[in-house]
Amino acid sequence: MNFRLIATDAEILQILEADADYDLGWSDDSDNDPLFEVDLIADTCNISSETNDLYSENIPNNETSTTNHTEVESEIRRDPSERGISTKCPKRNVIWFSELDTSVIVPPFTGEAKVCITGESPLDFFMELFPEKVIAEIVEQTNLCAHQKGKEYFSTSVPELKIYFGITLITTKIRRTARRFLHFKDVSTIPPDNTDKAIRLRPILEAQNNTYHKALEPEVFDSVDEMVIPFKGRSSLKQYFPKKLKKWGYKMWLRAGVSSFVYCFELFQGAGGGRSNISECRAAGNVVCRLCHDIHEKNHEVYADKLFSSIPLVLKLKKLNTWYIGTIRNNTVEGAGKKLKAAKELQKKGRVSSAVLTSTEGFTVTRWIDHSPVTVVSSYAGREPEGVATRFCRKEKKFLEIKRPHRI
C-alpha cells in the first residue's frame, strides 16, 4: 500500500536542519555497497514514487547505478548470512510522521503448516517427541552416575526406565533409588569455567527441541511468551513469581503456534546465566530472535508482549521477512515517544481515542485508550480499518461499543 507523507512544519524543519550528508538520519554508504538500490528501499518502506524525491538528494537512483537491477533483486532475497551481511540492525535515527497511518499487505505465507509424525495412540506421538535413543542415552548416563558414586550393583534398562517415567508422569510422587542416580550428562566432562547453569540438562533439552521442531511445520501465526513450570524443590534455577498463581518454579521462554504446540523453548537461567551478548534488541528481544531462528524468509507473523518489543527488534525481523506485532513500553519506543500524543491527552477524549505514528522504515506505533493506555508497534498492521469492541461503562451502567484500531 503506497501513501504520501504529509509532514507538519516542525517535521519538515527537522529534516531540513539535519546534516546534508545524512538527511534521513543514517549513513549513506550506497556508493560502496553494490547491493544498494533506491527502489528496494522504497518498496520496503512502502513509499510512493512521489515520495522518493525526498530521498533522492544523496542516494543514487537507478540511472546512475552500475548494478543490474535483476541481479540485485535476486541477490537481496538470499539469506543475509549467505551474502556475508550481518542481520544486526544498524543504528539509525528513525523519522516519525504524526497521524499518518499505513498497513502493509503481508506477502503470501511460503511455509507449510502440517503434522510431520504419525501414530495410532498417544504413546506413539509421545515416543516421536521422546524417542528411544534419548531414553537409551539417559539409561547410559544414569548407570554411569551410579557407578561413579560407588553403587556398582545398580543397573537400569530402557524398558525399566520407560515404566519409571510412566509411573512418574501419572503419580509425580514416586520415590525410587533411580531418581537419586537419574542423570543426563557425565559430570566429569563439565569444564571448570562453565557458565551454563543447565549444562546437566543440556543434552535432553537439545534433544527435545530437535524433536519438537521435526514434529510439526510451523504455522503462519506464532507467539513468543514465558511459561512457568511449578517447582518448590531446591534449585538455583528456581524463580519467584509474586503475581502468578504458582509462585515458585522454572521459567521457560517459548514460541508456540495458534494450535498451542510449542515449536521452540529455552530454560531461563537468571539475569546472568548462559545467555549470549546483548544486542541493540535488548536481552528479551534476543530471546525472540533465537526462538524464531527457523521461520525466517517465509512471511510468518509473530506476536509478543511489551517485555520483548523494541524498535530495533521490529527492524531486525523485518529484514528477515518475519512480521511482528506487539505491545510496547513507553521507554522503548525511542523517538516515537516524543511525537505520539500523551496518554493524558487521549484519555480526555474517552475510550474511542487513539493516536498513530508512521516511520520512514515502514512500521507504525499506535496508542489506544482502553481501561488504560495501550501502545502497540507493528511492521505491517496500522490503525485502519478500525473494528469494534464491547466494553462496560460504569457511568452509564451498560455495555457500549467503542472503536478499536485494526492492530489491537
Q: In the chain, count of helices (H) and strands (E)?
A: 12, 12
Pairing state of beta strands 354-359 and 364-369?
Answer: antiparallel
User: Is the pTM of the predicted complex or chain greater than 0.85?
Assistant: no
Q: In degrees to the nearest 10, what's the CA dihedral of 167, 168, 173, 176?
A: 80
Q: What is the pLDDT along the chain (408 residues), one digit of tens a residue?
A: 444 445 555 555 555 454 433 333 333 333 333 333 333 333 333 333 333 333 333 333 333 333 333 343 343 334 444 444 444 444 556 777 777 777 777 888 888 888 888 888 988 999 999 999 999 999 999 999 999 988 888 899 999 999 988 888 887 666 665 777 888 999 889 999 888 888 999 999 999 999 999 999 999 999 999 999 999 888 889 999 998 888 999 999 999 999 999 999 999 987 766 566 778 888 899 999 999 999 999 999 999 999 999 989 999 999 999 999 999 998 888 777 778 888 888 888 877 788 888 888 888 888 888 888 889 999 888 788 888 888 888 888 889 888 888 888
- Find how far residue 369's CA is from the centre of its chain: 25
In whole angstroms, how far apart are CA 119 and each of 24, 129, 163, 262?
56, 12, 20, 19
